[in-house]
Amino acid sequence: MMQNDIQTIRTEIAAYIRDSYGVEADYPWPRYPEYAVFRHVNNRKWFALVMRIEKAKLGLPGAGLIDIVNLKLESALAVEFLTAEPGFLPGYHIARGSWVSVLLDGSVPAERITPLIDQSFAVTAVKVKKGG
C-alpha cells in the first residue's frame, strides 16, 4: 500500500505498477522528462500517465506545479469521481473517453489510487472476443 508522502508517491506508483504488471515507465517526450507513461506490453495502450503540471493549467488556485496521474476508469465511476470527489479532474490533455486526472497532493488518499490503477489497467487491456 502506498504512503501519503507527496515526495515519494511517484516512485511508489511506478513500483506498484512494476510489481503488479511487470511494466516500467516510458519517457517518450524529451521536453518533459518527468512525464512517465505506463503502457500495456501487448497492445501498447496507455493505462497511466504521471505528470507534473502547472496548477493554473488545471484551473487550480495558486502558483507552482502539482503532480497528477491520468487514469482511464469505467464511465460511471469517472463521472461519480468528477462530480462528487475532491482531487479528481477531467483528464488533462486526454479529453476523450473516461480519463480522469487524480491529484497527487494528498487530496486523494494514496490507498485509493492503487485500485484505480488496477481499473485503468483492466479497462485498457486487450479485449477478449466472446463466442466461437
Is residue 99 within 8 Å of 91, Cβ to Cβ?
yes
Pick the CATH number of 9-123 from 3.40.50.1000, 3.90.1150.30, 1.10.1060.10, 3.40.50.2300: 3.90.1150.30
Is residue 10 within 8 Å of 50, Cβ to Cβ?
yes
**How many angstroms separate the CA atoms of 17 and 15, rounded?**
5
pLDDT at 108 over 60: yes
Of the chain, the percentage scoring pLDDT greater than 70 comes to 89
In this prediction the pTM is: 0.88
What pLDDT sits at residue 56? Answer: 93
pLDDT at 28 over 50: yes
Given pLDDT bands bounded at 50, 70 and 90, which one contains residue 3? Answer: very low
What is the residue-averaged pLDDT of the chain?
88
